[in-house]
Structure 1
């Protein structure tokens, strides 16, 4: 049985010293996924350089890869994925915010945002959201760099099939273990003992293989302590995304259901 290199990335659209992009790197051997290291990437340039590492690997990225088809058609944007992403990358954040805000303003209260088919099953925020969390900016900063790196965006865009990029959502896996309990915060005042206990419970559940992914996480004592101690949850989110990638790596079509919309995308494990 050969080892498969699997990665998970907790992405931010504005990485910096205090809030880097965090990449978890690991190896899947059968039903065991061993974390080999955590990498902090302090700029988008560092992220692009990290993406260039040779395969074979499969990686889960905590950022949306697509937009709702309803939104795209309403705005008259291209319905070819590569053309759409080129168009989106060419817009400024101010232009995106203006168009998205106008779209929302024309819709009834309670259904302002358009959703992708995978948002509901994953419990994810709409990918057009530009605040709390600003996932629209994550797509704007991240996907063009994935395309420029020539990786294979499974289901979306053919690339180097030895380097496979999938959309992941750590919250989907975390909820399986701790339901709706909060386990992270960037705000110092909100970094409570309750959230620390929740992170411990997630790590314990992953090590025991108590999720429907059927995988067990293997950590050193130091790694376990690091994941629990990181009150922002970024390191743990990267590891959760890595496990989603490890699961998808062994699935037909990387876990994409039949008929999933290539324009919208799919979240691994949803």
Structure 2
């Protein structure tokens, strides 16, 4: 019998064959997590269907699961998570951009965006950002499809007998711990430089050595290591970083509070980034 399936997902709200969703699949091993393989998904529906076909998993997904409470209250949207997601999923992307842009335009410089409580400890972008990175659109594309795939969201939405567990991941949190704010990836060919490749190699060596506060090492073979270092976009490495976060959360599956290493006091509307 295989150990429980662990997933790390580098997400795109508009995937294609050229820029697919990348998922790192693995399983827990003593002291860490072993990378089994990488899967690529050229469309949102293919990704959702694959997740729904797997009977059980714990995954960390690189997109926000909630919006800032301040923003939701200001807009008069539902103040409970599941009705909020249903409302948000029904909005057109252009409406989301216009609504959030109007919210920001009415606020002072330096305080344009509303933030979730998890943003400060995680160092993450506000989940209402619609560009650079468009995490608001990633939430719009990702969370409703995870729900359709039968996922449970600890601290937010737990249907009975949940076997597919979705955690909000953020690879940048783990990467900064290991190599600081050095850039290790770029989608632009002109910026796919030797220093960025060296940063990926250093980051991977630190993961392989278990040099993080999570106390877990990423076990992988030479071919996998070369693949992750060679991927100049960093999608494969980001998926692997999320895989480590999923393994950390899965090891903390308890019945106390939301479990999975999430804080007991997490906001049940906003959500929380695992390991933050």
TM interval, short-chain normalised: over 0.9
Provide the rounded CA distance (Å) in 1 between the counterparts of 2:126 and 2:95.
Answer: 18
Kindly indicate whether the alpha-carbon contact (under 8 Å) linking 1:66 and 1:264 is maintained by their aligned counterparts in 2. yes
Kindly indicate whether the alpha-carbon contact (under 8 Å) linking 2:35 and 2:219 is maintained by their aligned counterparts in 1. yes
Provide the rounded CA distance (Å) in 1 between the counterparts of 2:244 and 2:109.
Answer: 37
Aligned length: 270
Q: Does 1:250 align with 2:251?
A: yes
TM-score, with length taken from structure 1: 0.98
Give secondary structure in 1 for the equivalent of 2:166: strand
**Deviation of residue 255 (structure 1)?**
1.2
| Aligned residue in 1 for 2:241 | 240
| Aligned residue in 2 for 1:118 | 118
Gaps of 5+ in 2: none
Q: Does 1:268 align with 2:274?
A: yes
Provide the rounded CA distance (Å) in 2 between the counterparts of 1:82 and 1:198.
Answer: 40
Kindly indicate whether the alpha-carbon contact (under 8 Å) linking 2:32 and 2:247 is maintained by their aligned counterparts in 1. no
Kindly indicate whether the alpha-carbon contact (under 8 Å) linking 1:4 and 1:29 is maintained by their aligned counterparts in 2. no
| Aligned residue in 2 for 1:223 | 224
Give secondary structure in 2 for the equivalent of 1:153: coil
Provide the rounded CA distance (Å) in 1 between the counterparts of 2:127 and 2:56.
Answer: 29
| Aligned residue in 2 for 1:75 | 75
Kindly indicate whether the alpha-carbon contact (under 8 Å) linking 1:63 and 1:167 is maintained by their aligned counterparts in 2. yes
Give secondary structure in 2 for the equivalent of 1:255: coil
| Aligned residue in 2 for 1:158 | 158
The 5-angstrom pairing of residues 127-142 of structure 1 reads 127-142=127-142
* Runs of 4+ more than 4 Å apart: none
Q: Does 1:259 align with 2:260?
A: no
**Deviation of residue 196 (structure 1)?**
0.1
| Aligned residue in 1 for 2:172 | 171
Q: Quick check: 250-259 or 117-126, which moved more?
A: 250-259
**Any idea what the Cα deviations from partners look like across 1:178-207, whole Å, max 9, x if unmatched?**
001000000000000000000000110000
Kindly indicate whether the alpha-carbon contact (under 8 Å) linking 1:156 and 1:265 is maintained by their aligned counterparts in 2. yes
Q: Quick check: 2-11 or 122-131, which moved more?
A: 2-11
Provide the rounded CA distance (Å) in 2 between the counterparts of 1:4 and 1:246.
Answer: 10
Give secondary structure in 2 for the equivalent of 1:4: coil
**Deviation of residue 235 (structure 1)?**
0.2
Provide the rounded CA distance (Å) in 1 between the counterparts of 2:47 and 2:156.
Answer: 21
TM-score, with length taken from structure 2: 0.95
The 5-angstrom pairing of residues 104-115 of structure 1 reads 104-115=104-115
**Deviation of residue 59 (structure 1)?**
0.3
The 5-angstrom pairing of residues 175-214 of structure 1 reads 175-214=176-215
Provide the rounded CA distance (Å) in 2 between the counterparts of 1:31 and 1:67.
Answer: 34
Q: Does 1:54 align with 2:60?
A: no
Give secondary structure in 2 for the equivalent of 1:267: coil
Gaps of 5+ in 1: none
Aligned CA-pair RMSD: 1.2
